[in-house]
Amino acid sequence: MSEVNFLWLIPVVILLLVATLFLIRRPSPKEPIPNEDLAISPLPPSTVPQLIQPPPMLVPEPQDSRPSAIVIGTSSDAPMITIRPLSSLGQLEPMAPLDPESKGTIDRLSPLLQAVPGLLLAQEAAGRQLMEVVVDGTLVAAADGNGLRAFAMGPNGIAEHARLFDAGTLTHAINVTALWHVASVLVAQKHLADISRKLEGIQKGIDGISQFLDNQRRTRITSTYKYLLQIHSALRSGELSQAARGELESCERSLIEVQDHLMVEYEQKASESIQVGRWGTKKACLGVESRLIQLDQVARDIAVCIETRTAAWVILSLYPGNSQQKIARRESIEASISAFEALGPANRSKLESEIASINSVWNRRKTLEFRRARLGARCINSTDQLSVLSARAFEQIRQSDRVMLRASSPTRLLAHVEDGAIVAIEPR
């Protein structure tokens, strides 16, 4: 072959080489592999696995070593007194108001709580904060102050902070015994209005006490009344004296003695025989009328004596403990009222029988009928008045029962704290 013929093959070979290189070139990483058997479908962006980052290290927050509440009682499950901080007034439930003259008790309570803010509130806290003090009236009235302990409460029960909040430390800091005593006064002060009404009623009865009551019996009623006034005044000032508690027993004994004497006297007067003159009935009728007046006065004296016993029983009920003695005292007073009420019907029949026996040959029939009818109406009025007095005595006991029921509901106080110290306590 000539040289010229060989040369024309050179461009053909070059073109074949270029075409071969183009066909066998490797695909770009950004392009899919032509081989369908080896090709992998790209994942949608939402399913592309992301690089897993390790979780950040959790740094535990320092635990607040302060309890959420402090409770006082024989156990943490049934607290008599609960002290807890409030974030706002919105946390408060409706509260029954205390007597406005109970400021003395509030003043006594404030120093006892001075140690509490340091346990419940931050020492560095600035501005005004609120604390609620709740007193369970039922538990306070049933206890006697022995065996009470302080418990620091957390979200899961008793806080595990023995080093800071052990019972000894809390008891020393809060003065549990003194705080319980003030709580007793707070509950007792709910009875002030009821006691005031009873003392006012006794005063009216003493002002009208009969002249037939001898000086010794009169003095026992009036001296007991004056002593109850003293206890009432001390209670308003925030004091429930244990010495007065003992004197109430002496008052009860004296009043029972006076009451028994008056009951016997009433029956004796009702049983006196009528002295009918031979020449007429005027003197006999005047004697019966005078005796009915005396019976009315003796009945009022008995009522005053029973009302004084009732007032003393109410004050006795304010002292915690001795529940059976209080029940027995109430039952004794109720039995006395029932016996007093029975005097009317029993003696009315005697008097009516004697009034019917009044007779004289010297009086005309119409005169006798008029005098008997007038005495009969006076007798009915006398026994009706006795029934009114006994019903009033029963109502006084029921009224006190209702007050005691209301007083057993929790007593709530709002304490204002500034810079970790209590500056004011008010009833809510």
Could you state, in order of their start, the residue ranges of all structural domains in the chain?
A: 69-174+411-427, 191-407
Highest CATH level, class, for 191-407:
mainly alpha
pLDDT tens profile 229-261: 999 999 988 888 889 999 999 999 999 999 999
| Dist. CA 82–CA 94, nearest whole Å | 16
**Quick one: pLDDT at residue 48?**
46
Residue at 410: amino acid letter: P
Both tokens of 183, joined, read 């709580």
User: What is the strand order of the sheet 128-135 is part of?
Assistant: 157-158, 149-154, 69-73, 81-86, 128-135, 411-418, 421-427
**pLDDT tens digits, 183-235:** 898 889 899 999 999 999 999 998 888 776 778 888 999 999 999 999 999 99
pLDDT given for residue 86 in this prediction: 82
Residue 30 has a CB neighbour count (10 Å cut-off) of: 5
Give the integer Cα–Cα distance in Å for 426 and 414: 5
Whether the pLDDT of residue 146 is over 50: the answer is yes
With b meaning 16 or more CB within 10 Å and e meaning fewer, what string describes 74-90?
eebeebbbbbbbeeeee
Residue 73 pairs in a beta bridge with 149
pTM: 0.74
Task: Kindly report the average pLDDT of the chain as a whole number.
Answer: 78
Q: What is the mean pLDDT of residues 373-400?
A: 92
